[in-house]
Structure 1
Amino acid sequence: MKKTISIITFLFIFSSLGLFAQWQGAGTEENPFKIFTVDDLNAIREQEDNPLYSALGPFGYNVPYTNIHFELMNNIEDSLTQKLCSKFGGHFHGKGHFISLNFNNSDYYLNNLIGEVIGGTIDSLRLEGNMFNSMGIFGAADVGEIDNLICNVNFTPFVNELNAKLYVFSAGSSADGVIFKNCINYSNINMPAKKYIHCGLFWGFAGNLEGMINYGDFNVETTEESIVEAHVFSEFLSVGTIKNCINYGNVTINGIPHTANVSLFTSVSSGFSFDDNKITNCLNTGNVYAKKVDYLGAFANLNAGWIYNCVNTGRLIGDKIAGGIVGENYEYGLVENCLNAGYIQGDSIVGGIVAVNNGGTVKNNLSLSRTSKYSVFGDSISNSQQQFPDSLMFENNFYDKQLLTQMSSPQGDILENNAAKGLLTTDITGFALQEILGDGWSYAEGRYPIPLGLENDSMALVAATPVYLHFETEDDYNHVDSVTKDFTVGLENSVVWNETYGRVSFDDEYASLLSLGYENLVVNLGDYKKEVYINILDIETSIMEESITKNGIIYPNPASEFINIKLDGISADKLEICDISGKLLLSQTITNNYQQIQIKDLKRGMYFLKIYDKNQNIKTLKFVKN
């Protein structure tokens, strides 16, 4: 009998919802309430205290709209001017439509979309318009799931006499049951100069971020009294994961504040075991320019969690301690299968992978970019090995010694367990390191290894495209600060190479040296690029020495339309033009001591002119098509 009464009560409630609702539909998953207009949205706020729309939430008290479904039927172009509701435990399905916002209330509590998400879900929604005097879209998100929320809002942050604060997605602390996934931020964050400045996408975060993308730039104005907290994804990650997330945005701290704490993925990763806290398969291409920053790392400033299979290509310009992956690694911290290809700068301790080792494990990482100090570790690992003999492991951390001219650490290369070791480019690329680095990486001919899971990302592919400078032996090789021989470049994945100053000529994968001085090599793949600076100190064989010989001369050289060949006393039958790979491009008979050859159809680059006498003896001259 009681069971029958319960069923009748349940059916009565839902029939009542449909009978008295402000919206079309029944509020069920199968037949959600329909949102057509801004008035339909305002009705959510107006009915928030209606007990018909409230039920027991995840924390043991009633939450408005728990178990109730809404769906957006079209774009809302008339502006919503204040929040939907203070607390929301329901399900809002945007269906790919947008809501136009124009929040400009004197009370900043009215200038967020929802005050607190408690057990609810929001999906497939785009937000446009303006949010003035706002701390962010949600006051807090405690339990629930936010999926495919796209933010393209013009924000003006909350400010008062002392403070400026804006966290785009969530301004409150999040519980470990909340999930944000596949959300995109296009909004720039511009913070005025105040004594206390707080900004980012999230405040503290204890849930899971997956597939998040940030395109927004952070620009923070400061005074000498300013205390800055600027963090793209999270200020601190206490329990949870950041997975498959990408940051394209730059963080710029303008002026010199009193202090600044700046991070891209998290400032503090504070898990006490590897299962508590992970940052995995993440990419950063954003740059950081900040003064008064004590610690700076692309994925964590201070790490006691697990960071693996991540790639950084951004420039990190800090003030003191800076690491390409992590600023300081603690006893429980793990940094594994990560690639740094971004320039790292600091005034104190700087490492291409980790700056300061204070315990923890650092293994199977690659460093492919210069720093202002050391290419792998910023400090000596011997002190850490003595202090944490049981928990510490350093192994298989490599850098390209033809690309990076700094030592790997203050100790130099650490050969035991390959803790920090320089290799020639050809000893890193392709499958050369597969047996050493293992299955946490993706390998392919013609490129550096890429952390597994990121091998199809264009940004990672550009970072992994090599320059193969000349080498004779392990100890006799060209490097970027001393280039004296022609070289080759990687062409996998349809990348395109260009030079900046005209001192190098490309012909497919072949690069010919034309003149002395600095050159900037640029490789492009779609919208992504990488730059490699080289210093040409000598040319393999001077053009003039090759072209002005005892009995022959080529002019003009370099040339664009034609070359003249003057043969003083040479008995010659024919000539050939070959590219630097030896491919025959032209062959013709020599009829007199003066020949003019059209070269306008040749690509830019270095070529060889071969002159044959009657006995098939060859004289080889070099010229350049520009």
Structure 2
Amino acid sequence: MKKIFLLIALTALYISTFAQFGGGSGTEEDPYRIYTKEHFEEFATENNSMNYEMYGDFSGIHLRLMNNITDTVKIMPSSNPNSDFNGSFHGGGYSINIFPNSTIFQTVFNSIGTNGYIDSLKIVGTPYHFSSLVYTNYGTISHCICDVTIIHPIAQADYRSGIANTNYGIIEHCVNLTNFTNAILPEINYWDCTVFSGICYMNVGIIKYCKNKGNVSSKEALSAGIAIYNIDNGIIEMCINSGDNQALSVDPINVMTGGIACTTEGNAIIRNCVNTGNIVFSSIFPAGGIVYGASGNVNIINCLNLGNISGYCVDNNNERGAGIIGSSNDNTANIAYCLNLNKAGASAIVDTLLNFVSINATNNYYDKQTCLSKGINNEDISGSAEGKLTTQLTGTSPELQAMLGDGWSYAEGRYPIPLGLENDSMALVAATPVYLHFENEEDYNHVDSVSKNFTVGLENNVSWEEAFGRVSFNDENVQLLSIGYEILSVKLGNYSKKINIIIVDTEVSSPEILSNNEISIYPNPASEYLNIELNQHLSDEVQIYDISGKLLISKAINSNQTQINIADLEQGMYILNVLKSDRKIASLRFVKE
């Protein structure tokens, strides 16, 4: 009888312990319910205790967050560095407000075991010592969001990642919204954090369908949109980075950055990924729109860059960087079927630290009307890295599909999109083109020299607008109104893309417009004086603009010949407009040397 009473008492204790979670029985159909801060901290305490007689490592046990927890949660399931979680934690799309009770950098979960599963959990808050959602993942992390705000300066820590520090398992459909920066920590007189990645620090597993929307602004740091290191047999696929990255250096050795990854090595793969984030850097290591460095038997294939890559080497002030790979010093790396559509530093596709390195590149292309640098080390190489006109890189032509292969989605009115991302709004915006004017493959407008009206893509119900009123939109037709700098924006839902152009001339519809050969300017280039001959045409004013559209000189004239002193102008290209009765009748370019 005593044994029966003891068994009943233990069973009641067992049931009451689980009941503290807020109900449920721990099955997939009836998970333990977490409503409050106390419920979550109870789960955290039990996970850290590693009480294998009661909970074990939560194998086969399901827990579900039932609502947002706005009270600050301080006890995390990661407090014991030896604890694993092999259960299933379902976030339900709700959030937890975290503030780890620790003086060192900390995660929410320590280790997700091979049978562990976390999904649909959002973390928010203002933690001082946050590192990532999970420290080490061997299981699956799915549909999770990191949206914390990090306060500086913080205790010194090497890593800040949105989702995981190290991944051996699967991370899928996760999003980082956190912006990363660093600050001087007074007690060490150095930066408090020097590694930033939107999803993961080191990937040896699979990261797929993930997005980084957070920006990075750092000094002396490694940074990337998805992962710092993609190594061994790691795979990053169908991921998008839209976060901007400013990576500056005082000590140039410490700065490396890439849109998707910082470095990829071994037999790792980056495929079907898109970068739309802009990168500004100063370092001896050139940044890449997809990855900074590639070595070993890696494959970088079917990737698209639309970010503006801008930077220089601090040791010699030379412009560096590339649209796809910033540095490839190993000819075993395979770079194939990639596409770059924006300005890209020194090279459109690949920059190298060592110019004598042979690059294993096949069928990579860039839009030469939007990217002003060339293929590899700023040289086009047939079959490896070549520039094409916008019309040659859009649509569904057999020629285009033969160029980029079957790893892309093709459609009329847009650039190709890597397969797997063709229905993503962010990718659809990124693939919307501006069709600048061209006569042939050698005579064409580009974004830094627009002189003719042009058209834009309207597929997928995108909308367009301008920033400064220098152009006007009429459906797909765009008319140039005035010279200078303009920003075009294309939008689809909550997503947008900006295209910067410089208008150097406009098409004037007045019947009084003169052809440029009816007006003479000389010498060109000029150093001190610019002579203007109107050849019997009447004019009452000439104006000189810089390429940003700023009026620098205006002079009234009353004869067919005049001379303008340009000695005080900086070296560069300028626009000369000839006016009659406040109406422009001619526009010419000249160079001040």
- TM-score band by shorter chain is 0.7 to 0.9
Aligned ranges 1:237-276 → 2 under 5 Å: 237=203, 239-253=204-218, 256=219, 259-271=220-232, 276=233
CA distance in 1, matches of 2:508, 2:30: 79
> CA deviation digits over 1:301-320, x for unaligned, max 9?
11121000000000112222
Q: Name the counterpart of 2:96.
A: 128
Aligned letter for 1:317?
V
CA distance in 2, matches of 1:50, 1:284: 38
Aligned counterpart for 1:306 among listed residues 269, 273, 276: 269
- 1:33 and 1:206, CA in 2 relative to 1: closer, same or farther beyond 3 A? closer
Q: Name the counterpart of 2:493.
A: 526
> CA deviation digits over 1:500-540, x for unaligned, max 9?
22221211111112222222222111222212222222223
Aligned counterpart for 2:352 among listed residues 354, 376, 379: 379
Q: Using the TM superposition, give the Cα deviation of residue 299 of structure 1 relative to its aligned residue in structure 2, in angstroms.
A: 1.5
Q: Is 1:338 matched up with 2:303?
A: yes
Q: Name the counterpart of 1:209.
A: 171
Q: Is 1:398 matched up with 2:386?
A: no
Q: Name the counterpart of 1:369.
A: 342
Q: Is 1:475 matched up with 2:473?
A: no
Q: Is 1:325 matched up with 2:309?
A: no
> CA deviation digits over 1:479-504, x for unaligned, max 9?
11222211111111111111222221
Q: Is 1:424 matched up with 2:397?
A: no
Cα contact 2:36–2:69 (8 A) shared by 1: no
Aligned letter for 1:214?
N
Q: Secondary structure at the match of 1:480?
A: coil
- 1:429 and 1:124, CA in 2 relative to 1: closer, same or farther beyond 3 A? same
- 1:13 and 1:455, CA in 2 relative to 1: closer, same or farther beyond 3 A? farther
Q: Name the counterpart of 1:222.
A: 184
Q: Is 1:167 matched up with 2:134?
A: no
Cα contact 2:213–2:243 (8 A) shared by 1: yes
Cα contact 1:194–1:222 (8 A) shared by 2: no
Q: Secondary structure at the match of 1:538?
A: coil
Q: Using the TM superposition, give the Cα deviation of residue 190 of structure 1 relative to its aligned residue in structure 2, in angstroms.
A: 3.2
Aligned counterpart for 1:460 among listed residues 392, 413, 427: 427
Aligned letter for 2:352?
D
Q: Using the TM superposition, give the Cα deviation of residue 94 of structure 1 relative to its aligned residue in structure 2, in angstroms.
A: 1.5
> CA deviation digits over 1:44-103, x for unaligned, max 9?
56777999x735xxxxxxxx524xxxxxxxxxxxxxxxxxxxx65453432653334424
Aligned counterpart for 1:236 among listed residues 202, 208, 211: 202
Q: Secondary structure at the match of 1:209?
A: strand
Cα contact 1:380–1:409 (8 A) shared by 2: no
Q: Name the counterpart of 2:536.
A: none
CA distance in 1, matches of 2:88, 2:511: 72
Cα contact 2:125–2:147 (8 A) shared by 1: no
Q: Which moved more, 1:493-502 or 1:190-199?
A: 190-199
CA distance in 1, matches of 2:289, 2:345: 11
Q: Secondary structure at the match of 1:461?
A: helix
CA distance in 1, matches of 2:37, 2:237: 40
Cα contact 2:341–2:371 (8 A) shared by 1: yes
Cα contact 1:466–1:489 (8 A) shared by 2: yes
Q: Name the counterpart of 1:200.
A: 161
Cα contact 1:190–1:218 (8 A) shared by 2: no
> CA deviation digits over 1:323-346, x for unaligned, max 9?
000101112111100000001122
> CA deviation digits over 1:334-386, x for unaligned, max 9?
1100000001122133111111112300010110011232211112887333x
Aligned counterpart for 1:517 among listed residues 478, 484, 493: 484
Q: Is 1:190 matched up with 2:156?
A: no
Cα contact 1:215–1:247 (8 A) shared by 2: yes
> CA deviation digits over 1:142-172, x for unaligned, max 9?
33333334324213223xxxxxxx22302x3
Q: Which moved more, 1:227-236 or 1:296-305?
A: 227-236
CA distance in 1, matches of 2:52, 2:438: 73
TM-score where L is the length of structure 1:
0.70
Q: Using the TM superposition, give the Cα deviation of residue 282 of structure 1 relative to its aligned residue in structure 2, in angstroms.
A: 0.3
Q: Secondary structure at the match of 1:460?
A: helix
CA distance in 1, matches of 2:458, 2:114: 47
Aligned ranges 1:37-56 → 2 under 5 Å: 44=43, 54=52
Aligned counterpart for 2:410 among listed residues 429, 439, 443: 443
Aligned ranges 1:535-550 → 2 under 5 Å: 535-541=502-508, 543=510, 545=512
Aligned letter for 2:276?
T
CA distance in 2, matches of 1:312, 1:412: 23
Q: Name the counterpart of 2:55.
A: 65
Aligned letter for 1:520?
I
Aligned counterpart for 1:97 among listed residues 57, 67, 90: 67
Q: Secondary structure at the match of 1:242?
A: strand
CA distance in 2, matches of 1:95, 1:45: 13
Q: Is 1:289 matched up with 2:279?
A: no
CA distance in 1, matches of 2:470, 2:99: 51
> CA deviation digits over 1:575-601, x for unaligned, max 9?
xxxxxxxxxxxxxxxxxxxxxxxxxxx
Aligned ranges 1:138-157 → 2 under 5 Å: 138-157=109-128
Cα contact 2:127–2:149 (8 A) shared by 1: no
CA distance in 1, matches of 2:38, 2:487: 58
Cα contact 1:100–1:129 (8 A) shared by 2: yes
CA distance in 2, matches of 1:342, 1:43: 45
Q: Which moved more, 1:395-404 or 1:25-34?
A: 25-34
CA distance in 1, matches of 2:85, 2:65: 21
Cα contact 1:191–1:197 (8 A) shared by 2: no
Percent identity between matched residues is 35
- 1:474 and 1:137, CA in 2 relative to 1: closer, same or farther beyond 3 A? same
TM-score where L is the length of structure 2:
0.73
Q: Using the TM superposition, give the Cα deviation of residue 194 of structure 1 relative to its aligned residue in structure 2, in angstroms.
A: 5.5
- 1:533 and 1:19, CA in 2 relative to 1: closer, same or farther beyond 3 A? closer
Q: Secondary structure at the match of 2:69?
A: strand
Over aligned residue pairs, what C-alpha RMSD do you find?
Answer: 3.1
CA distance in 2, matches of 1:378, 1:131: 42
Aligned ranges 1:1-16 → 2 under 5 Å: none
CA distance in 2, matches of 1:114, 1:338: 39
Q: Secondary structure at the match of 1:331?
A: coil
